[in-house]
C-alpha cells in the first residue's frame, strides 16, 4: 500500500561515499555520477543519508557507467528498506528470545516513538528470518567452530507463533549458540520431529563432532523422537521448564491464599 502521508523530517544526517575510489576493472579513478538521498528510520531517530553514487567513465571499460553505491549503506538498512537494521535485530530478539507477538512488538515500538504499523512489524520479522537463514548457510564457519570445541549439546525448541501460523522449530548448539537448523512445521507429530532430528544428524555426521546431550521441553513426542534418532544420548529437560514444573505443587498449595487475598482486597 502506498504511503498517504509524507515521511517525517529527519533528526540526523550522514554523508556516505564509496571507500573504493578506483575502478576494479581498469584501475581508473571513479567519478561521482550523482548524489542520492534516503531516509532510514532507526531506533535512535530518522536519519537522512546523502549517498555519493560513483561510476567508471572510461567507455572501453566493461564497468563503464555501472553504478557503485557506498559500502557503508548496507550497515544502515537493507536495499529499498525504510527501517534500519537495528530495528530488525530488535524485533528478531523480541520474537525469538522473548516469544513476543506482533501486537506486543508493535506497541513496544510505538512506545519508543516509532511510527510503524503491525503489518510492517510482520514484514521486518520476515526480513530477520531471511537474514538468519543466510547466516546459517555459512557451513564452513559453523564447521570450523564446532570442530574446534570438539562436541555439541543440542537444544530443540518450537517457537509458538500467532494463532494459525506454522511453528518454527529451531535446533541449536548450546555451547557455541549456533543455530544448526530451523524449519517451519504445520504439525508437531513424532514423525515430524524425527525427520527434523535426522536432518540435524546428517548435518553433523560429516563433521565427526559427537553429541554429548540434548535439551528440550520434554514433551512426549520429543522424548520419543530423540530416543529413536539418538539412542543412548542423554536427554534433559531445559531449566526453564524444569523449574516451572517444580513450582507447580507450591502454586497449587497457595491458590487458596490468593483467593482469600482477593476477597480481602475487594471487601468480601
What residues are paired with 186 via a beta bridge? none
Do 180 and 155 belong to one domain? yes
Do 108 and 61 belong to one domain? no
Tell me how many domains the chain contains.
3
With 0-12 / 13-18 / 19 or more C-beta atoms within 10 angstroms meaning exposed / middle / buried, residue 95 is buried
Residue 4, in any domain of the structure? no
Report strand pairing: 152-159 vs 211-216: parallel
pLDDT of residue 183: 77
Do 172 and 109 belong to one domain? no
pLDDT tens for the chain, 268 residues: list them. 456 667 778 889 999 988 888 888 888 998 999 999 999 999 989 999 999 999 999 999 988 888 888 888 888 888 888 999 999 989 988 988 788 899 999 999 999 988 899 999 999 999 888 887 766 667 788 888 888 888 898 888 876 545 555 677 888 888 887 878 877 777 778 888 899 899 999 988 888 889 988 888 777 888 899 999 999 998 887 655 555 666 667 666 676 776 777 777 776 5
Do 145 and 165 belong to one domain? yes
Do 178 and 101 belong to one domain? no
The pTM is what? 0.56
- The residue segments making up the domain with residue 195 are 139-237
Do 67 and 155 belong to one domain? no
pLDDT of residue 1: 47
pLDDT of residue 170: 81
Which residues have CB under 8 Å from 70's CB, separation 6+? 16, 17, 18, 19, 51, 52
Do 189 and 177 belong to one domain? yes
Which residues have CB under 8 Å from 59's CB, separation 6+? none
Do 153 and 164 belong to one domain? yes
Do 167 and 180 belong to one domain? yes
Amino acid at each position: 500500500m502506498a504511503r498517504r502521508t509524507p515521511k517525517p523530517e529527519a533528526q540526523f544526517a550522514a554523508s556516505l561515499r564509496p571507500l573504493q575510489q578506483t575502478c576494479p576493472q581498469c584501475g581508473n579513478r571513479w567519478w561521482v555520477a550523482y548524489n542520492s538521498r534516503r531516509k532510514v528510520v532507526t531506533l535512535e531517530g530518522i536519519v537522512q543519508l546523502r549517498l555519493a553514487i560513483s561510476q567508471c567513465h572510461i567507455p572501453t571499460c566493461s564497468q563503464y557507467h555501472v553504478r557503485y553505491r557506498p559500502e557503508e549503506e548496507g550497515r544502515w538498512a537493507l536495499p529499498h528498506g525504510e527501517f534500519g537494521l537495528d530495528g530488525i535485530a530488535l524485533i528478531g530478539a523480541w520474537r525469538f528470545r522473548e516469544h513476543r507477538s506482533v501486537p506486543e512488538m508493535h506497541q513496544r515500538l510505538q512506545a519508543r516513538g516509532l511510527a510503524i504499523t503491525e503489518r510492517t512489524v510482520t514484514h521486518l520479522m520476515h526480513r530477520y528470518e531471511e537474514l538468519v537463514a543466510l547466516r546459517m548457510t555459512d557451513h564452513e564457519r559453523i564447521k570450523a567452530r564446532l570442530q574446534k570445541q570438539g562436541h555439541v549439546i543440542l537444544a530443540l525448541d518450537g517457537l509458538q507463533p500467532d494463532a494459525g501460523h506454522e511453528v518454527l522449530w529451531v535446533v541449536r548448539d548450546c555451547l557455541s549458540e549456533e543455530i544448526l537448523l530451523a524449519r517451519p512445521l504445520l504439525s508437531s507429530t513424532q514423525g515430524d520431529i524425527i525427520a527434523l532430528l535426522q536432518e540435524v544428524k546428517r548435518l553433523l555426521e560429516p563433521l565427526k563432532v559427537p553429541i554429548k546431550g540434548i535439551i528440550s521441553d520434554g514433551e512426549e513426542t520429543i522424548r520419543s523422537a530423540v530416543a529413536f534418532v539418538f539412542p543412548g544420548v542423554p536427554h534433559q529437560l531445559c531449566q526453564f521448564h524444569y523449574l516451572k514444573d517444580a513450582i507447580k505443587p507450591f502454586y497449587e498449595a497457595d491458590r487458596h491464599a490468593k483467593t482469600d487475598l482477593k476477597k480481602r482486597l475487594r471487601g468480601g
